[in-house]
Amino acid sequence: MASSNFLYTHRRIKNIVALTLSMCATLVGLLFLAWILWETLRQGIGALHPQLFTKITAYGEDGGLANAMVGSLIVNLIGILIATPIGVLAGTWLAEYANGTRLGESIRFLNDILLSAPSIVLGLFVYTIIVLPTTALTSGSTTFSGWAGGLALALIALPVIVRTSDEMLRLVPSTLREAALSLGIPQWKLTLQILVRAARSGIITGVLLALARISGETAPLLFTSFGNNYMTFNPSDKMSSLPQVIYQYANDPGDAMHAIAWAGAFVLTMFVLLLSLASRLVLSRNKVSHD
């Protein structure tokens, strides 16, 4: 009896310590998040006015980030539209056709390497295979473009979507596959109409997380889309982007430009935060519907 009481007390103490450490870690994470949001808001509140969203590149106090925001939306959209179908198809193949094979494990390993690759390396890669060859074809005229920037961002988003799609499909119960195959449903129809639909929320979450990941990338865009002081909707031209403009304004000696950079950082942080919350909402709704 005494030994059982001791064991119960020992486990209870360990549980309390673990819960306390977990709560402390959560509070530290939330503290840093609140600190970042407060600092960006405090530093940029003077520039958070309507012209920030309606005027183009700032010169002194007169200007905004409209061209940078539009450029970011276009380049990010190009990147996610390229990466999503390829990533979902690759993840589906890994989960349903190459699961447990040596080839599948090798591809997962290479995908993990690409997932952790520095973004500047991917930007240099696209610069080497896209920007430089097209520059040579155009008699030395440098061909930075939104398309090149979108491709660089697609290479960053691709492994995230592949990994998420693979994991979400492998979480679908095997009994669902066995029931469908026992009814004579072809493998391709089982995959597209049953398994992908069952893992849809997780796949959408992966796409949103990939979009949040590429939204704040600066280094790849410096080598690909380069930047543009004017408004443009044509991805064949040089395109501005919000992270690149924040970097540019932060290095400017003027206080007004610093305030606009902080305001842009706040807008970008809120955008990424909303994407993260949206992904959590999609997952929570999926759990509720399954329950």
DSSP the chain: -HHHHHHHHHHHHHHHHHHHHHHHHHHHHHHHHHHHHHHHHHHHGGG-STHHHHS-B-BTTB-BSHHHHHHHHHHHHHHHHHHHHHHHHHHHHHHHTSTTSHHHHHHHHHHHHHHTS-HHHHHHHHIIIIIHHHHHHTTT-----HHHHHHHHHHHHHHHHHHHHHHHHHTS-HHHHHHHHHTT--HHHIIIIIIHHHTHHHHHHHHHHHHHHHHT--HHHHHTT---SS----TTS----HHHHHHHHHTSS-HHHHHHHHHHHHHHHHHHHHHHHHHHHHHHHHHHHH-
Report how far residue 34's alpha carbon sits from residue 208's, in angstroms, rounded to the nearest whole number. 22
Q: What is the pLDDT of residue 155?
A: 94
- The per-residue pLDDT for 71 is 93
Higher pLDDT among residues 68 and 281, named by residue: 68
pLDDT at 287: 59
The reported pLDDT for the residue numbered 160 is: 94
Residue closest to 104 by CA, chosen among 90, 115, 116: 90
Q: What is the pLDDT of residue 73?
A: 94
277 pLDDT band (50/70/90 cuts)? confident
Angstrom CA distances, 216 to 11, 38, 72, 97, 247, stand at 44, 18, 9, 34, 11
pLDDT per position as a tens digit, 220-276:
998 899 888 888 899 988 999 999 888 888 888 878 888 888 888 888 888 888 888
Of all residues in the chain, the percent with pLDDT exceeding 90 is 36
Name all domains of the chain by residue range, CATH numbers in brackets: 70-240 (1.10.3720.10)
pLDDT in tens, 69-84: 999 999 999 999 999 9
Burial class (CB in 10 A: 0-12, 13-18, 19+), 85: exposed
pLDDT tier for residue 59 given thresholds of 50, 70 and 90: low
| pLDDT for 291 | 52
> pLDDT tens, 105-162?
999 999 999 988 899 999 999 999 988 888 767 666 668 899 999 999 999 999 999 9
| pLDDT at residue 281 tops 90 | no
pLDDT, average across residues 39-45: 85
pTM listed for this prediction: 0.85
State how far the Cα of 140 lies from the Cα of 135, in Å rounded to an integer: 5
Q: What's the CA gap between 148 and 270, in Å, rounded?
A: 26
Percent of the chain at pLDDT exceeding 70: 93
- What pLDDT score was predicted for residue 90? 94
Please say whether the beta carbons of 217 and 144 come within 8 A: no
Residue (of 168, 187, 175) closest to 97 by Cα position: 187
